[in-house]
Amino acid sequence: MMSAATIAGRVRAGELDPVSVTRGALKRLEERDPNIHAYLDADADAALERAEQVAEDAARGDDPGRLAGVPISLKDNIAVKGRALTAGSRILQDYHAPYHSTVVRRLLAEGAVLLGRTNLDEFAMGSSTENSAYAATTNPWDERRVPGGSSGGSAAAVAAGIVPVALGSDTGGSIRQPAALCGVTGFKPTYGSVSRHGLVAFGSSLEQIGPLAAHAEDAALVYDVIAGHDPLDPTTTPAERPSAYKTSASVEGLRVAVPEELLDETVEPRVLERVAAAIDLLGDAGAITKVVPKGRLAHVRLAVPAYYLISACEASSNLARYDGMRFGPRLEQDDLLGTYQRTRGSLFGTEVKRRILLGTFALSAGHHDAWYRKALEVRRLIADEFRALLQEFDLIAGPTSPSGAFPLGEKEDEPWAMYQCDALTAPACLAGLPSISLPCGLAKKGPYKGFPVGLQLMGRAHEDHRVLAAARAFEALRGEPERCALYGNEVAS
């Protein structure tokens, strides 16, 4: 299928009918989704009706917008007025969003066609999309493997060539890690650049909405549309942003740090091999790459415990609202406390309960300073180290994930092993930095032979345009990515 930029350009020029584009996406969804379970539902009628509106706008001579007729899927923790919104949880089954999220309002204002709710780990807590209460999404490269998570549905939808772009959310790596495992591009913006209004809250000081796309160019285009100050999210920053889509795509003269801490023994050697080749490619194109010896990011090894403690504490507070009183099912007991306990105990999944318990424990009397406050202090140390390194360098490069796509069920009963999937992505969330994962080839040997590997680039806060421009440049250097074995040349063309 065509890129989002090409679709929008041709629809605006009157050369392409958005209804036919939508029908094509729906056909692919119908054919492919039964194998991968990327979607919770599609709402084909609403998508076609919307495409007809865009077609009418274009026919009238009105500019239908920068995303005219582009089918875009949304992770099911992003509110679309009147549509179901479950966050992958039974506790929100039958819930329908009473308002649009800000990102949805912005997508619609630019002519996008919303196509389906994609699957996720319950409340975005997970790294494999196995924690959804509705189905496990599988990897389009091999249906016996995970797509990563928690935005695994969005990543799989793009990797299977159903839509050119989908939105996800990233609290500790939930856009980038599934992008890496599915061989697509995934961008987490600077904290505060994209509104979280209408995003089901999990870790409020960490999470951002961002695009997953077949092309870095499309990630930049969608980022430009959804970014910006929003009075409904007081953490958004009012600063003017250069267009990421229009910024010249070049890496020439960019100083790129490659910290040894991100290349340690916990990363699969065949993943490192592909990432090293990608960094060499950046160097060949004029970037000044430098391996930074251990010591500059001395605390990054603590990112996983710091991230999991902070996010669990925030989750325990954010999820307190789900008690069966105002929305969702209520499992009645004889008294109020019993009703709360049965509703929450029965309708939250195991991983969500694990994190609520962890967060409640870490915030409880006698433990707050030892765990929560300590994690915040370590977060500050990590953020300071990244900021200092980015005063000397324009970008930081390394692998996105320590591994490739692993088999379904492999880490399901080992929470700590699953948490390690975020070791390389959580630091950018703790520091609030923009970060992107780009496909950089397939592992040639080892347990992930034949599966995609992701290159991660991180930049300075509010220099999202620079990260995305470097990503577009890398994509041009790399050429077309390896094709998904099951869906072949349909991924992007």
Where in the sequence numbering do the catalytic residues fall? 75, 150, 174
Tokens of residue 99, six digits: 């308002």
Query: DSSP strand E in 175-264: where?
Result: 185-188, 208-213, 255-259
Work out which of 323, 410, 412, 482 binds another protein, going by CB under 8 A: 323
Binding track over 40-79 against another protein, x by CB under 8 A: ----------------------------------------
Sign for the CA dihedral angle at 75, 80, 86, 87 comes to: positive
**Minimum CB–partner distance for residue 260 and another protein (Å):** 20
Q: Cα dist. 344→46, 126, 331 in Å?
A: 33, 19, 9
- Beta bridge partners, 399, equal 455
Tokens of residue 331, six digits: 């499992």
From CA 242, how far away is CA 221, in angstroms rounded?
12
How many CB atoms lie under 10 A from the CB of residue 267?
A: 18
Tokens of residue 372, six digits: 């929560």
Work out which of 415, 446, 447, 450 binds another protein, going by CB under 8 A: 415
Instruction: Report how many residues bind another protein under the rule CB under 8 A.
Output: 60
CB of 133 or CB of 356, closer to another protein: 356
Integer-rounded Cα radius of gyration of the chain: 21
**Minimum CB–partner distance for residue 234 and another protein (Å):** 4
90 near another protein, rule: CB under 8 A: no
CB of 23 or CB of 81, closer to another protein: 81
CB of 175 or CB of 306, closer to another protein: 306
321 near another protein, rule: CB under 8 A: no
295 near another protein, rule: CB under 8 A: no
Query: What string of H, E and C letters represents the secondary structure of 468-481?
Result: HHHHHHHHHHHCCC
Question: Is cis: bond before 205, omega within 30 of 0?
Answer: no
Which one of 38-46, 210-218, 277-285, 335-343 is the stretch in contact with another protein (CB under 8 A)? 335-343
At residue 289, what is the residue type?
A: T
Look at residue 405 and give its three-state secondary structure: coil
Backbone angles phi, psi at 27, to 5 degrees: -65, -45
Contact set for another protein, span 350-409 (CB under 8 A): 350, 353-354, 356-358, 360-361, 364, 370-371, 373-381
The one-character DSSP state at 119 is P
Q: Tell which phi-psi region holds residue 446, choosing left (phi > 0), alpha (psi between -120 and 50) or beta.
A: left
241 near another protein, rule: CB under 8 A: no
**Minimum CB–partner distance for residue 237 and another protein (Å):** 8
Which one of 14-22, 67-75, 127-135, 412-420 is the stretch in contact with another protein (CB under 8 A)? 412-420
Contact footprint for another protein (CB under 8 A): 95-96, 98-99, 205, 231, 234-235, 238, 299, 302, 305-306, 308-309, 316, 320, 323, 325-330, 332, 335-342, 344-346, 348, 350, 353-354, 356-358, 360-361, 364, 370-371, 373-381, 415-416, 419
